[in-house]
């Protein structure tokens, strides 16, 4: 974003309004995603597994977040965040479904016992990297690219592996929902 040539207090007020608009846009996208997941989830899950839907929507969300680097206006950024909110909520819903389909309750407990500290570590790394940006050691573009790529790139091998496994078990019918 181009810095505005105004008094610092006014600039902070304008940035606060822009940030509010960006957050509201992502929330709106999540709402649209929740509504669309209710409408389309059965038809999509008949064709694709919940695991595969989780991976595809995660990649789509990451791509939309990376596209924010190309946004030149706040309107473009708001539109991209609204769009990114849709696959974000779809990914979250199908991820929990995939966990329940693939893991026994005992394994789910073990997975969440290990996942929760990893999520907390990722949060701490996010706060640290935001501090690097705030101190001027990391530009906003570099910060956003780092955050988007580290959350999206690990999905690619899982999606490729899921594709190979799906080709091996095509003869096994999926239960109807």
pLDDT tens-digit profile of 118-134? Answer: 777 777 777 787 778 77
Q: Please tell me the least confidently modeled range out of 9-13, 24-28, 126-130, 155-159.
A: 9-13
Tokens of 12: 């902070």
Residue 74 clears pLDDT 70, i.e. is over it:
yes
- The predicted model gives 75-89 an average pLDDT of 83
Pick the closest to residue 79 from 137, 148, 32 (CA basis): 32
Q: State the pLDDT at residue 174.
A: 52
Looking at per-residue pLDDT, the higher value among 127 and 11 belongs to 127
d(CA 27, CA 53): 21
Where residue 12 falls among pLDDT bands split at 50, 70, 90? very low
pTM of the model: 0.67
| Structure confidence at residue 71 as a pLDDT band (50, 70, 90) | confident
CA–CA dist 112, 76 (Å, integer): 37
The predicted structure's pLDDT at residue 19: 67
pLDDT cut 70: percent of the chain above it: 80
Nearest to 57 by CA among 94, 103, 27, 24: 94
Residues comprising the chain, all counted: 177
Q: Comparing 19 with 80, which gets the higher pLDDT?
A: 80
Of 51, 33, 23, 28, nearest to 165 by C-alpha is 51
What's the mean pLDDT in 4-32? Answer: 63
Residue with tokens 């539109």, as numbered in its chain: 79
pLDDT of residue 154: 72
3-class DSSP assignment, residue 119? helix
Instruction: Report how far residue 156's alpha carbon sits from residue 28's, in angstroms, rounded to the nearest whole number.
Output: 27
pLDDT band at 176 (very low <50, low <70, confident <90, very high): low
Of the candidate ranges 1-15, 64-78, 91-105, the one whose mean pLDDT is the lowest: 1-15
Confidence tier at 177 by pLDDT (50, 70, 90): low
Q: Which of 166, 130, 163 is nearest to 59 (CA)?
A: 163
Q: Which two tokens stand for residue 96?
A: 């929990």
Output phi, psi for 169, to 5 deg: -115, 30
């Amino acid at each position: 974003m181009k810095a505005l040539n105004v008094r610092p207090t006014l600039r902070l007020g304008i940035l606060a309004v822009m940030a509010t608009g960006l957050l509201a846009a992502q929330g709106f996208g999540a709402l649209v995603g929740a509504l669309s997941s209710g409408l389309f989830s059965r038809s999509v899950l008949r064709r694709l597994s919940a695991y595969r839907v989780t991976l595809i929507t995660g990649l789509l969300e990451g791509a939309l977040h990376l596209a924010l680097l190309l946004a030149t206006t706040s309107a473009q950024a708001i539109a991209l965040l609204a769009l990114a909110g849709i696959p974000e909520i779809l990914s979250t819903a199908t991820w929990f479904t995939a966990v329940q389909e693939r893991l026994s309750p005992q394994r789910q407990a073990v997975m969440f016992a290990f996942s929760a500290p990893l999520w907390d570590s990722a949060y701490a790394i996010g706060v640290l990297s935001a501090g690097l940006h705030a101190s001027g050691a990391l530009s906003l573009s570099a910060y956003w690219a780092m955050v988007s790529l580290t959350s999206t790139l690990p999905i690619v091998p899982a999606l490729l592996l899921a594709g190979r496994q799906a080709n091996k078990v095509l003869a096994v019918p999926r239960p109807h929902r």
